[in-house]
Structure 1
């Protein structure tokens, strides 16, 4: 080899960060690169002629020696990749990725080891795993991990023929803490609550944070008596005010209990029944309540539907109906609102009020909303291609306004369908916005900047601050519109909402218009658009073109 080539190879080996080591057939080290010196902490003079076992933890020496012998004896393969633990000069151990090759040189076998320290990679993997399963604020298991743990607890209960208890709880009036003291102090309170809950439970029990002010407790192999005892201990533990930056803050909570197998045979049914019990406790002010069927007279069907909803989303059982929205000045359709229905194989058409709320409480609202958006935009694209270019309105829930990935998913669906953002209108309720105004404002602002129209649904039933949210329209709640011709108070409310909306530069849409008299009254008040059975009930996508041709409200 020329001096020039030798210098080049030497320079190359100097800058390569991986450890490059060669050993002979007796597993003695014959070459040790500068990368190897940096990785193991040995100088080259300390290792040349030494056994490879110098670089391995003692407990792995024999295992790797046999692996090495087997590799040396076999004709194939000529390269082997695996992970090992290395040992540095100071005795510390680290995970490493190894590529082992064999090379015949002058009738001798030489083994080349390229080793990379992957401890940072392992730490990153562990961190990602932690982030995927742990709540970032409290370090407790998050909703995803909670569901896995609950399923495992139920399986253990089945195997051992034992009971399992699920306790769901949330803090009463927690929103007032955030509004009064700020979200930073609210976060501190949540952290303190999580720590105090862990102190109450056994090591075998689980505390999880499901989001917001919601927590869940899983008690494996626990009967009703033990579950109610734990509930009492939790209430007592949280009686003591929390001191947050010198301020004593008292919390109250509502807690619902459901038992396997008494109240449910799987994780989904337990969550639903514990949720029913929690709201029963909230209504009664009793602190905690053990589930009973009387708390939810429709529970058998409701729980069955909740358990089947995921299959319905994946199994093409959902469909959309569309209710036209009519411009009151032109008398022509300007858009439709997409309303989801469930074509259940046993119950027929299931209205949304029987599955939307359970979907919100079980986390299924995200895939459900994704399905509705995907189908609505696909249908809007088809109508546009047939010369029916009107807006498509889709409802969002409170949980959707906590989904930071929602704007990106909507942008992707718009692009896939070749639809301009201005054709999509997203409706959110006042109550959804009020649950977390800061988070709602962030999501709504991103959507607005994309060019999507935003409207506040059921306006007049809450206390939203229109000045702080980038909305284009408000929809007057049907409870005020429906009897405004007979109820003077409702008529005054409708007039005030129309005036308020126009003063803020917003379009005003009235829902629940069911007769000609109501239409005329709204028209006289200057309402911009209307929606209701007077113009059309919700109809299927197949019926819309026919309705457009035959209805006096069709496109101009």
Structure 2
């Protein structure tokens, strides 16, 4: 009975604390040690033996106690590391999640707002000043935030971000505080007598307005901060519609990629008519997406997505191949019409672009003069030296070059003069043509045409839709016209029929 009781108490003690168990063993030895008989003789133990056992037990208890104490300290240290940012000493994202879960579970507050501040130029300071100053300025921002919001709700995140949890604050109050904090940080802070001017942006999410799950709230904080970058606003509240737009953009991107690989594009051609002869001088090749889900997507949107995704070069090459194939078909039918193809800045900087064009022309045995490339002012501004080199190579091949959307870029006249020897045609943007009947717009168009003609460049007016515009353009000696007045973009077969009417 006694042994069973000892065993039960020992099991209970072990489950709770090893030191408690060892103390219990020591007590057991001290109290009944002398009465514990030898197993063999059943005689009582000598005093020296059970005293020795007590001493050994005391030593064991002390050792185990120290080890247990160190283990507890180690666990506390690990817990601290798990919840503390190494650089700043402030609580980190793990602690934020714990605290936010706790606040939500307590149901004490009906609204909790969370602000994520990003120290935008911290990496630049680390790079151009030094790493230590960058870290010190980051820590200083935490101190400023601690004074502004109160230390209890300030957290470090991701190396250059500060998170503020505001229990009891609605979204409008949080927005107002974020704006005030950013305004306060616009004053330089001094690190080692060096003035540092932090650039701060913020994103805000609210519980339960936007989300009730803590992990999702953290994800939304990052997304709201990205919205700040996209909109160039210093503070952005999480916007579900903006997020849906991003998701739609991504879906369009995936669909566009599959369309390219699945040959789902088609080409249409819009005639360009000579003002004096009323005959078709050339045609512009326009890419169409043969997908009912994207019928409303403009060419500009399509190109923008492809440029952002980095595969505009592949689309341009697809267009070049298909246009040259079509020119060969038309040549076989006795139709010879120059076709202009839009190219981007990325195309001009592509090392394989020139060779690809040469190869397509050579394989199809067509005349290079029947190919024209159109590029915008933005294309030549980005990298003028590379653009000039590529354009020179194309001109040397006998390909004609057009400057598209003229007048919408910066320093348009300068660009025209600098690249005058590279261009054969200049296309005046539709925004000028729309109001050409008004005297002030006519003066601008007249000036552009005169300047182009003096440089030996022919002029095309884009977006012409009314007879009054045509008559006005004739008075300022415009060379060619493109627009819905003459024709919408046509399929290859429709263009063939159109040429029978306007040869």
Which category of TM-score, normalised to the shorter sequence, fits these structures?
0.5 to 0.7
| Matching residue of 2:465 | 514
| Matching residue of 1:532 | 483
| Matching residue of 2:350 | 403
SS in 1 for 2:481: strand
SS in 2 for 1:444: helix
Contact 2:284 2:341 in 1 (8 A): yes
| 1:170 Cα deviation after fit | 11
Q: Deviations over 1:340-394 (max 9, x none)?
A: 1111154446432332111111102111111111111111111122111111101
| Matching residue of 1:101 | none
| Larger relative helix fraction | 2
Contact 2:201 2:228 in 1 (8 A): no
SS in 2 for 1:542: helix
| Larger relative strand fraction | 1
| Matching residue of 2:173 | none
| Matching residue of 1:478 | 430
| 1:427 Cα deviation after fit | 0.6
| Matching residue of 2:377 | 430
Contact 2:463 2:482 in 1 (8 A): yes
| Matching residue of 1:308 | 255
How is 1:259-338 mapped onto 2 (pairs within 5 angstroms)? 278-280=229-231, 282=232, 284=233, 286=234, 292-295=239-242, 298-338=245-285
Superposed CA RMSD: 4.3
- Cα distance between partner residues in 1 of 2:282 and 2:305: 29
How is 1:70-85 mapped onto 2 (pairs within 5 angstroms)? none
SS in 1 for 2:335: coil
- Cα distance between partner residues in 2 of 1:347 and 1:533: 22
- Cα distance between partner residues in 2 of 1:447 and 1:194: 45
Contact 1:255 1:278 in 2 (8 A): no
| 1:293 Cα deviation after fit | 4.0
Cα distance change, pair 528–278 in 1 and its aligned pair in 2 (3 A): same
| Matching residue of 1:444 | 391
| 1:405 Cα deviation after fit | 2.1
Cα distance change, pair 289–273 in 1 and its aligned pair in 2 (3 A): closer
| 1:300 Cα deviation after fit | 3.9
Q: Of 451, 467, 470, which residue of structure 2 is paired with 1:500?
A: 451
SS in 2 for 1:322: strand
- Cα distance between partner residues in 2 of 1:327 and 1:169: 57
Q: Deviations over 1:214-268 (max 9, x none)?
A: xxxxxxxxxx983594499xx99xx99xxxxxxxxx99899999xxx979x9xxx
| 1:396 Cα deviation after fit | 1.1
How is 1:51-66 mapped onto 2 (pairs within 5 angstroms)? none
| Matching residue of 1:226 | 157
Contact 2:119 2:161 in 1 (8 A): no
Cα distance change, pair 384–489 in 1 and its aligned pair in 2 (3 A): same
> How many residues align structurally?
323
Contact 1:324 1:531 in 2 (8 A): yes
Structure 2 stretches of 5 or more lacking a match? 1-117, 136-154, 164-181, 190-196, 205-214
How is 1:174-193 mapped onto 2 (pairs within 5 angstroms)? none
SS in 2 for 1:419: coil
Larger-Rg structure: 2
- Cα distance between partner residues in 2 of 1:367 and 1:194: 41
TM-score for the superposition, normalised by structure 2: 0.55
| Matching residue of 1:466 | 416
* Structure with higher RCO (Cα < 8 A, 6+ apart): 2
SS in 1 for 2:405: strand
| Matching residue of 1:543 | 494
- Cα distance between partner residues in 2 of 1:480 and 1:289: 36
Are positions 1:392 and 2:339 aligned together? yes
| 1:169 Cα deviation after fit | 13
Cα distance change, pair 293–413 in 1 and its aligned pair in 2 (3 A): farther
Are positions 1:491 and 2:442 aligned together? yes
